[in-house]
Structures are given as C-alpha cells and as structure tokens.
Chains A and B, each alone.
Chain A
Amino acid sequence: MKMRTTTLAIVLLLTGALAASASSPFATLGAGVMVDPLSVRSAALGGVDILTADSVYLSTMNPAGWNSSGRTRFLMASNVRISSSQDVLSGKDGASDLQFPTVALAMPIYRTLGIGFAYKTVTDYSFLIRRTSTVTDLLPEDTLASYHLTETFSGVGGLSAFSSNFGVRLGNSLAMGVALDYVFGKLDRIWQMTFDTGGFTESGKTIRNQLSGIAVRFGAQYSGTPLMAAATVQLPASISVHRSLEIVGGDSLGISAGSLEMPLSLSVGAAWTSGRKRTYGQGSFAAWGSTAQDVIGVSDTYLNAWLANAGFELLPSRSPLEPWYQKWTYRAGGHFGKEYVSAGSDPVKTFGLALGVGIPVRTHMGMLDLALTMDWRGDTAANGVGVRERVTGIRLGFSSTESWFVRRGK
C-alpha cells in the first residue's frame, strides 16, 4: 500500500517536474502571476483554503492546521492549465501546460504538536511575446532596402517556497500555528531581436534576478460545530534580489541590487455547517501599498491586493447503506478580487468559478479530488488593461493519511 502511494507520488512529481511553467501575459508584471498553492479541495471551493485543514486535508496557507491529527498527512496537487488570451491590440493566443503547484507532508510530533513541510509554487514567471516588423533603409547606405525583424520578450522562472510548518491544538477546537517560508527562485527577463534578412546579427539583453528570503506566517483555526473560523497573518518580509545584466555582444555585469518587499497580508474566513451542507467564506488583503518598485530591473506599480472567496460543500453521507455517489463530496465555489500589480495605471481584476468532487479512498484513509476551475484575469475595455486571460484548470489531487509517522503521547 505504501509502495503504491509512493510510486503514485513519484509519478506525479515527475510529470509535474517535466511540465513547462504556466504562460501568462500578466506574468510580465511584477514578480509574476501569483499561483494558488492550493489543495484541489480548496480550488474547488473557489480558493477557500485557511479553513480546510482537518484529519485528512492540509491547508498550505494556514499553519494552524498542521497540528497533530495522529497520523501522517500527505497532499499533492496537479493542474492542467488551458489558457487563452484576448489582446485588444494583437488578437488571441493560447497555451496549455501542466503545473504541479504543491506537495506537502505533515506528521505528528508529540501530543497535539505537529510539524510539516511543503513545497509550493508562489509565482509563475513565464511569458513569450513575439512581434515581427519590417524596417526600411537601415543599412547599407545609399540602398533603400527592407529588413524583416522579429522582437521577442520572454520571461523564465518563478518563485517557489519551501515551507516549514508548526501547529498545535489547544483544547478540542482551537489550533495555532506558525510557518517559515523560504522563498526562492529566478526571474529572468530576456529581450531578443533577430533579422530574417542576412547581414545582421542578433541583439539582445537579459536581466537575471535570483531571489531568496524568509517569510513568516501565523495562523489560527477554530473548528467548532456548526461554526468554523480561521485567520492568518503573513508578516512583511524582504526577499533579496541579486541581479545581473547581459547585453549580447556587450557587457555581462553582476549587480547586487534591491529586494522584493513582501507586504503584511491578512486572511480571515468562516464556515457554517448545517447537516451535510457547509458554506465557506474567506477574505484576504495584502498591503502592497500603491508604489512603484524596481524589483527585477524594471519599475512596476504594486497595489493593495484583495481577494474574496466563497465555497459550498455537500459532505458525504456517513451511512453505510447509502449508494456510492452519496459517499462522495461535492463542491462549488468562486472568487473575485484585484491583483497585486497594475498594467500601466489600470488594476488587474480577477474572477473565477469552480466545481469539484472528492472521492474517498478508504485504503489510504484519504481522498482523491478533482476540480474544474475557470478563471478570468484582466479586461479588454478600451480604457482598461487591454488583455483578458481565461484559464481553464483541470486539477487532480490526492490527500491521504498514512502510518509513516504516528502520534506519540496522549
């Protein structure tokens, strides 16, 4: 049983590792597109996450849920993204890729104290914008000639975090936790200009940014009946940036410069259970301010970001006499909010809907989760951002409890 779980985990890890980063025109802004490092259950609930930790599931946002549940909990999630974007200037384009946003492992340490580790994607920094044009009468002199050239602007990388979580349960319903996130990654911006006409050499510039730093989060979770509530606070953190510049045919300069100032972020949420029905609500706010930061070699305007999430869950019947479909969990949710960066002076708004199902896997005392998500970002209004992206996500996740590490003490 353990071997099969491990094998499955390795297969998922490998498939995720082989996949390309998710491409988005909005990745050109700031440190990239924020990725929900969510369990598939949370994704199906419209992004509600800080309330979702229990004896099977883990919350990647709320460390309070990492308290001891008696057994080892294991979580992983994959996401096939199929995206298309409509640009008011240049038409449509599409891409698809496979993400592997998170894998997590939590284990009991002593009594109600639990510890766990997670690897999660924080931002995706992957984009490629290509433009072709024709220029006349450049070189050589006295010759009126046309030259076809292609400009590309691309980004490679993204931020990830290795998270150490500590949680403890105080009494039967209240849990507290703290998480240390080691945030790291690269954000490379690459410009290239190539000529289809002979006689010209490719030119280009690359700004390479290596980022690393520590962020701290606190969390609390109240798991009562019928009310559940949770809150998290992420303290401001400074992520250092080491930058280098390469000009094709020119200089290659190492520049130690700057930092990404992660802001104070708050999330609060509540859920109400009535019979087999549970309704969730969650709100988040990140105080980026309204300032321009030169984090990665260009100046971007960072804005206060907020996100509102709502979800609904039809819990499974506990009766052994019910048919199989009554033992599944059905979920739906949605979210809307505003991103942390702007396109020019225009804020980037986001909106999403989700559906999902949780299938019990009794052999692992776990759940196999599926979710279908639809997210929209930006707009094509004449006085707006100019680009609207739609992302369809087909998510597969697995949460299990294992006997690898079990609780000691009462």
Chain B
Amino acid sequence: MRTKGSAKSGGRVVLVRVSLLLIAVSLAAALAAGCGQYNSEVGSSVVGQQLEGVLRDTVLQIQQSRTRIVGDEMKSTTSLLYAGEQNGMQADILMRFPDQKTYVDSILSYDSAVVVLHTYGLVDSANVTDWTPWQANVLRIDEPYDSSEIDYDYPFVSEMIGVAGIGTPAPDDSIEFPIDTVTLHRWEVDSLRNGILLRVDEGTATFLKRFYTFTVKSDSLVPLLKFRASVIDGGELHPDSLIEMRPTYTTYLANDVTLPVSDNRLYLTNGYQRQMLFKADFSSLSPRTASINSAQLFLKVDTASVYAFGDPGLFTAYQVTTEWDEYPDSLGLLYWPSVAQVIGEGAAQVTMDITDLARELEKHPTENKGLAIRQTNAGNTMGRAVFYDITVPDTTLRPYVRVLYTDYSE
C-alpha cells in the first residue's frame, strides 16, 4: 500500500519527467528543422514590389579637373636609383657613407678609392633612339642638410671632384668611378657622411638608367665604396688593406618641368610627382534612397602622347579634404585603402573603383572637395601617363564617373 507521501513524491517525479521529456521533444523538433525562418522566394507574392530595390546606372560628369604638380620630394623607400635624362625627365643620384671609424680605428694613408654601382635595367628602352653614353659629375657635398628637405633644386654646398661614366647603354653592367684622395682625407671630418651627388648636366643624357640601392642584401649588387689604405684596427697595423663600405643612404633627385600647361591633357608622373584632381557632383544621388553598389572613375589614356613614357606605377584615389586653391602646397588628402590601380604602359583606359569614396561623398555632399589620383609609393618608379582632360573636344574621351546604385525610393 502506498502512503500519501509516496504518492506526492511519485506525482512530482511524473510531472518533472513528463515536462522535461516534452521540452526535449519540442527542442529537438525545433532544431531538427534547422532554422526558424524561410529562406526562399516564398512570400514575394504578398510583398510584391516591396522586395525590390531597383538597380540603376548613371554617369556623373567630371566638373573640375587639374594636374597638380608636387614636384620632387624626399623618396624614403625607393627601391631603385635613377640617373640620366629621358623625355625631359632628369635624375641624379645621392649617396651617403658612414664614418670611417665605424670600420677601423684609424686610417694612416689612402692609396685609391672607387664607388661601384650595379645597373638594374633601363627605362622604356624601346623608345630610346640615342644610346650615346653619358657622364655624371661627381659632387662632394661639404655641408650638412636636412634629408627631408632636399630635392632636385636644393642648393647643396658642394665641390666637383670628378666625373663618373655611369651612362652606359648596357642594362646589367657594373660601373666604377674614382674618388679623389682629397675627398678621402676630408672624409675624416665629415664630407662623405654628407654624401656625393652624381649630377647629369641638362641636355647631355638621352636615356635613364636604373641602379640597385643600398637596401639590396646581396654584396654583389649593393653600391659600394672600395678603397685601399693602411689602417690601424684593434691596435694592429694593416698595410694596404682593401675596405668595402656600404652606403648608409641612397636616393635619387628628379626634375621634370617640360610638360605643356594647357593641352587638354592631365598628367600623372612618378619620380617627379604630378597628381590628378577630379571633382564630380554626387548630389543627384540621394543618400536617403540610393545605396551605391559600384562607382568607377573612367580615365581615357592618350597613348599617342609624346610625353608618355616609362612605368608610372601604382596609383590610388585619395579624398581631397581641403579646397584646391586654399593651400595648394599642402592639399589635404585622405587615404582610402580600397582603391589602387596600376597604370600600365600602353593602356587605353584606366578604371578605378572608388565605391567607398563615392559613398562618403554621396553621404556628405558638403565635404565633396574632389578626389586625387596619386602615387602609392612616390619615387619607386619614373614615368609619365597622359590622360584626356574634361576640356578635350571629343566628349567620348573625357573622364567620368559611372555609378551603379540601388534605388530604394518608394
């Protein structure tokens, strides 16, 4: 016979077991079906047009454009050195060397010294017609300077100490030129720490050469200062020793001021920097109804231009954040990482994806001060690309922005 207490206890057990079983069955049923939502077109007949945003395609004309000359700037990360002159673009090489005492305790006498450069090809060699060898003046720089301020026109305090026959037409040779003993003795004070400049006189060179920089790891390719000297190192005399020094810094200085100011063209140049500025009106796209899927800047290249040469390199679109004429030398540019484009040689058209930037300009029309096409790594290459401007009579050649957007207006 069951007691009252055991009956209650049995009832609780049954209740709890039944409840938990039902919960488990319910959860299993819910989970077995996988999800709580439909995932197909079912329901579209109820909502009709509400389901759809309407895809639209529109062309925005460029209202303003300009070539912005930045000029020669410090090239902190250049991967090659350039020297010579080609199609009006000039380049000189600057090299600095360490204090001699970082290698030896003291130098008793110098016998001879040379600088060695290793060639890494030529620029746009297919279009070079005159392969006459050229020379560069070797200038010893005698006073310190701020590296961030130097450019092609910087007034170095220097003295010519010789010439360097580096302008050979070979694409892979190694070239030596001497350093005079006066300079080597001056080195004990500071002169080679200020560097030497290989300057090519205007009009003397007909092509540009490329050389390896001091960042190359290979000893057989890196520029070197080689000299023979009698030295004391570690308290011992080492007569007639060969010492090879790597530069502490190398760069090149560029000049290019020969382009026409107004010829219905826009120019992108690298080495000596020219950027392009564009301003398109996004106000026809309402930020309340238009959600941009794609915005592309189309640029037509003047492939026949006599000013186009070399490899302009990798460019990207920046948002211009200041008025173009307010501070022309320090134009505010905001980087948009989503955009980058190689301007290849011979390309007839360049398309840049500026979707993210276009969304920003659509959203904040008062902040639309345009966009700039500029180098991602100034100085890594030397070259020019020539584009048709908005003033060119043939309207099909003008730059424009094409936008694909979803229209959510109802």
Interface residues of A (CB under 8 A from B): 1, 4, 8, 11-12, 15, 19-23, 25-26, 28-29, 78, 80, 82, 85-98, 126-131, 135, 138-141, 149, 151, 153-154, 191, 193, 195, 199-205, 245, 247-251, 253, 298, 343-344, 359, 361-364, 368, 370, 378, 385-387, 394, 396, 398
Tell me the B residues contacting A by CB distance below 8 Å. Answer: 8, 11-12, 15-16, 18-20, 22-23, 25-27, 29-30, 32-48, 50-53, 55, 57, 286-294, 296, 298, 351, 353, 355-356, 359, 362-363, 402, 404-406, 408, 410
Partner of B46, one of A12, A138, A248, A386: A386
Give Cα distance in the complex from A248 to B287, angstroms: 9
Whether the pair B293, A89 counts as a contact (CB closer than 8 A) is no
- Let me know if A15 and B41 touch, CB within 8 A: no
> Which of these, B39, B44, B50, B406, contacts A193 with CB under 8 Å?
B406
- Given the known interface contacts A4-B16, A368-B18, the answer about A127 and B43 at a Cβ–Cβ threshold of 8 Å is yes
Q: Is the CB of A87 within 8 A of B12?
A: no
CB-nearest residue of chain B to A251: B287
* Residue of B with least CB distance to A8: B19
Evaluate whether A15 and B23 lie within 8 angstroms (CB atoms) in the complex, with A96-B30, A140-B402, A249-B363 already known: yes
- Between-chain CB contacts (< 8 Å), 23 pairs: A21-B36, A89-B41, A91-B41, A128-B37, A129-B41, A129-B42, A139-B402, A140-B296, A151-B51, A153-B47, A205-B53, A249-B292, A249-B362, A249-B363, A250-B291, A298-B50, A363-B8, A378-B46, A386-B45, A386-B46, A387-B45, A396-B22, A396-B23
Q: Are A28 and B41 in contact (CB under 8 A)?
A: no
Is the CB–CB distance between B291 and A80 below 8 Å?
no
CA distance A47 to B258 in the complex (A): 89
The minimal Cβ–Cβ distance linking A83 to chain B, given in whole angstroms, is 8
Pairwise interchain contact B363-A251, C-beta atoms closer than 8 A: yes
Q: Which residue of the partner chain B has the closest CB to A396? A: B22
CA distance A82 to B292 in the complex (A): 39
**Cross-chain contact A95 with B35 (CB below 8 angstroms):** yes
In the complex, what distance in Å separates the CA atom of A92 from the CA atom of B39?
10
The CA of A396 and the CA of B45, in the complex, are separated in Å by 34
The prevalent SS among residues of A at the interface is strand
Report A-chain residues with C-beta under 8 Å of the C-beta of B32.
96
Select from chain A the residue with minimum beta-carbon distance to B38: A93
Most-contacted residue by chain B among A129, A151, A245, A359 (CB, 10 A)? A129
Instruction: Kindly state the separation between the CA atoms of A153 and B410 in the bound complex, as whole angstroms.
Output: 15
3 residue pairs, one from A and one from B, having the closest CB atoms: A20-B36, A25-B43, A96-B33
Known: A97-B30, A140-B351, A201-B355. A129 touches B47 (CB 8 A): yes
A19 and B30 contact, CB distance less than 8 A: yes
- Asked if A191 and B53 sit within 8 Å, CB to CB, the answer is yes
Q: Judge whether B12 and A94 touch: CB under 8 Å.
A: no
CB contact under 8 A between A245 and B38, given known A139-B294, A203-B405, A363-B12 = no
C-alpha spacing A402/B51, complex, angstroms = 50
Tell me if A249 and B23 are in contact (CB < 8 A). no
The answer for the CA separation of A368 and B53 in the assembled complex, in Å, is 49
Return B206 CB to nearest CB of chain A, in Å: 39
CB distance from B408 to the nearest CB of A (A): 4
Q: What residues of B have a CB within 8 angstroms of the CB of A251 in the complex?
A: 287-288, 363
The answer to whether A344 and B19 have CB atoms under 8 Å apart is: no
**Is A201 touching B37 in the complex (CB atoms < 8 A)?**
no
Residue of A whose beta carbon sits closest to that of B16: A4
A4 contacts B294, CB within 8 Å? no
The contact of A20 among B26, B29, B35, B44, by CB within 8 Å, is B35
User: Which of A127, A205, A343, A394 interacts with B26 by CB under 8 Å?
Assistant: A394
- Closest approach, in angstroms, between the C-beta of B297 and any C-beta of chain A? 11
B29 partner residues in chain A, CB cutoff 8 A: 80, 82, 96, 394
A151/B52 contact (C-beta < 8 A), A140-B402, A249-B291 known: yes
Once bound together, how far apart are the Cα atoms of A3 and B362, in whole Å? 60
Partner of A94, one of B33, B47, B51, B298: B33
Interchain CB contact (< 8 A) of A126 among B37, B57, B406: B37
Closest partner residue, chain B, to A152 (CB atom) = B51
Q: A97-B30, A98-B27, A387-B46 are in contact. Are A130 and B39 (CB under 8 A)?
A: yes
CB proximity of B24 to chain A, nearest CB, Å: 10
Q: Is the beta-carbon distance between B33 and A82 smaller than 8 angstroms?
A: yes
**Which residues from A are CB-within-8-Å of B410?**
298
| A89 in contact with B37 given A8-B19, A247-B288, A250-B291 (CB within 8 Å) | no
Tell me the smallest distance from the CB of A330 to a CB of chain B, in Å: 17
Q: How far is the CB of A146 from chain B (nearest CB, A)?
A: 13
| Contact A343/B35 with A93-B40, A247-B291, A253-B288 known, Cβ cut-off 8 Å | no
**Residues of A contacting B51 with CB < 8 Å?**
129, 131, 151, 153, 191
A87 touches B42 (CB 8 A): yes
Chain A residues within 8 Å of B291, by CB: 193, 203-205, 247-250
A140 CA to B121 CA in the complex, in Å?
Answer: 36
In the complex, given contacts A151-B52, A396-B23, what are 15 additional A-B residue pairs having Cβ atoms less than 8 angstroms apart? A25-B42, A90-B44, A95-B33, A95-B38, A97-B33, A129-B47, A131-B51, A191-B53, A199-B353, A201-B292, A203-B292, A204-B291, A247-B408, A250-B288, A398-B19
In the bound complex, CA of A247 to CA of B287 (Å) = 7
Measured CA separation A39–B294 after assembly (Å):
52
